[in-house]
Amino acid sequence: MLKLDLSQLAGFLPQGYAVSRQTGLKKAADMLAAGNGPGGDFTGWVALPEQYDREEFARIQAAAERIKKQSQVLVVVGIGGSYLGARAVIELLSSPNYNLKVKDTPDIYFAGNGLSTDALLELIALIGDRDFSVNVISKSGTTTEPAVAFRIFKGMLEQKYGKEGARERIYATTDRARGALKGLADQEGYETFVVPDAVGGRYSVLTAVGLLPIAAAGIDIAALMEGAARAMKELSIPGMDNPAWQYAAARHALYESGKSVELLACYEPSFRFFAEWWKQLYGESEGKEGKGLFPASVEFTADLHSMGQYIQQGQRLMFETVVRFEPKGTFLIPDDPENVDGLNFLSGKPLSFVAEQALRGTILAHVDGGVPNILIRMPQISESSVGYLIYFFEYVCGLSGYLLGVNPFDQPGVEAYKKNMFALLGKPGYEEMKQKLESRL
């Protein structure tokens, strides 16, 4: 399914860089499988593609069908790991223009992933007087951004449909037992879905967190899980033939050779939010204790005309990981009998041929410019290939965190801004901190 090409690392890494990491990778893979490494309580995603709650899965599919029937719009409220996976998969498998398409599924808008007044007002105007449902997603149930957004959309639903009607249109995805959202959902009688204890936000796209919005968009979530299950099976085989081990070894060796940025590039505009999901996955998993590659992303060829200059000649701090999908369709470049634009050397050639030469030329140019390249070739974008790629990146992330010597499943740094914000907002219990912060601003 996935083909990893590391041939363009040859001039950058010493021979044997992979073999020298084999013992570390074995240890990392064993810790992921046994759940006994740092953060081992959060390795529930490792076996998830096979060991998930089938009864809940069927409820997710049923809820998605109900949402399709009852609403023209689904508002998905969540942030970070409770947001990016669903958007990534919907955009990659459907389109960034999903909402503009003629379809029998609801428009899907994402809310609660920021605090912009303008964005909120725009979203309310976009919903207009259409029927809508809400899927509120928060593992902790206390994150400020989605909590504020949910209060607003809950109020709108209750005003429009009454309390009883609103209850039929609110779907809460949260912790099995704890948190303010769980309490609210139980009290109000919303249908609830579970973020499993052992799965952290950024690894949760294949739980109800991602699956309900994805299914509501008409995507075959069973096929998505099957793709992930295939990856799980293939990538659990130990040894340096395993592409997950190879990728983890390469990025660790590049990091140790002095590279500090991994640039994820793709030639599909629909990949943009997948890259955002990937950035959270790697950024939150590795970026701690003063360590970790900074995950960045670009969209080719568009960004070759903006970031391309820096990549080619700026500070030599990065390597590139390029994801290339087989195209689904064919488009032949037309002939122009007058050849005014001088492009007839391309007449009759598929556009994908041009893209392929752009990819090959770019790889060589960047390698010549001192940017090592990792190429991931994928078949066509489909539920199955996307499920596979999700699991591949998650698994490599777990391996990479352990190779780096960090806990890839916590995010202590995220708390700092939250505490400051609570204090500055005047949340009870933060009075002393508020005074200290105010004196510094």
Q: Which sequence positions are flagged as catalytic?
A: 284, 305, 418
Find the part of the chain contacting ligand PA5 (CB under 6 A) among 132-140, 220-228, 301-309, 330-338. Answer: 132-140
Is 200 a residue that touches ligand PA5 (CB under 6 A)?
A: yes
182 part of the interface to ligand PA5, by CB under 6 A: no
Stretch touching ligand PA5 by CB under 6 A, among 17-25, 75-83, 103-111, 220-228: 75-83
Q: Does 285 participate in binding ligand PA5 (rule CB under 6 A)?
A: no
- Contact window for ligand PA5 (CB under 6 A) among 79-87, 242-250, 320-328, 345-353: 79-87
Is residue 44 within the footprint of ligand PA5 (CB under 6 A)?
Answer: no
Number of residues that bind ligand PA5 (CB under 6 A): 15
Print the SS3 string covering the chain.
CCEEECHHHCCCCCCCCCHHHHHHHHHHHHHHHHCCCCCHHHCCCCCCCCCCCHHHHHHHHHHHHHHHHHCCEEEEECCHHHCHHHHHHHHHHCCCCHHHCCCCCCEEEEECCCCCHHHHHHHHHHHCCCCEEEEEEECCCCCHHHHHHHHHHHHHHHHHHHHHHHHCCEEEEECCCCCHHHHHHHHHCCEEEECCCCCCHHHCCCCHHHHHHHHHCCCCHHHHHHHHHHHHHHHCCCCCCCHHHHHHHHHHHHHHCCCCEEEEEECCHHHHHHHHHHHHHHHHHHCCCCCCCEEEEEECCHHHHCCHHHHHHCCCCEEEEEEEECCCCCCECCCCCCCCCCCHHHCCCEHHHHHHHHHHHHHHHHHHCCCCEEEEEECCCCHHHHHHHHHHHHHHHHHHHHHHCCCCCCCCCHHHHHHHHHHHHCCCCCHHHHHHHHHHC
CB of 79 to ligand PA5, least distance (A): 5
**Closer residue to ligand PA5 in complex, CB, 373/411:** 411
**Which residue among 94, 138, 246, 362 contacts ligand PA5 (CB under 6 A)?**
138
Q: Give min distance, CB of 211 to ligand PA5, in A.
A: 15
Binding segment toward ligand PA5, per CB under 6 A, in 135-143, 215-223, 230-238, 290-298: 135-143
Residue window 406-435: x/- pattern of binding to ligand PA5, with contact defined by CB under 6 A: -----x--x---------------------
| Residue 24 found at the interface with ligand PA5 (CB under 6 A) | no
How far is CA 414 from its chain centroid? 17
- The answer to whether 82 contacts ligand PA5 (rule: CB under 6 A) is yes
Segment near ligand PA5 (CB under 6 A), from 196-204, 289-297, 361-369, 429-437?
196-204
Contact call for residue 88 and ligand PA5 (CB under 6 A): no
How far, in Å, are 179, 215, 227 from residue 224 at the CA level? 29, 10, 5
Min dist CB 406 to ligand PA5, Å, is 15
Alpha-carbon radius of gyration of the chain:
23
Report the residue from 39, 44, 81, 213 that binds ligand PA5 according to the rule CB under 6 A.
Answer: 81
If one asks whether residue 242 binds ligand PA5 (CB under 6 A), the answer comes out as no
The residue among 137 and 367 lying less far from ligand PA5, judged by its C-beta, is 137
CB of 9 to ligand PA5, least distance (A): 30
d(CA 187, CA 196): 21
Taking CB under 6 A as the criterion, the residue among 139, 230, 259, 366 binding ligand PA5 is 139
Contact between 146 and ligand PA5 per CB under 6 A: yes
Closest approach, Cβ 116 to ligand PA5, in A, equals 17
Contacts of 174 (CB under 8 A, 6+ apart): 136, 137, 138, 139, 141, 181, 182, 185, 192, 193, 194, 195
> What's the min distance (Å) between Cβ of 279 and ligand PA5?
11
- Figure out which of the listed residues 49, 201, 283, 372 binds ligand PA5, where binding follows CB under 6 A: 201
Binds ligand PA5 by CB under 6 A, chosen from 91, 268, 284, 320: 284
Could you tell me the smallest distance in angstroms from the CB atom of residue 233 to ligand PA5? 26
Binding of ligand PA5 by 210 (CB under 6 A): no
Is residue 85 at the binding interface for ligand PA5, with CB under 6 A as the rule?
no
Q: Under the rule (CB under 6 A), what is the footprint of ligand PA5?
A: 79-82, 138-140, 143, 146, 200-202, 284, 411, 414
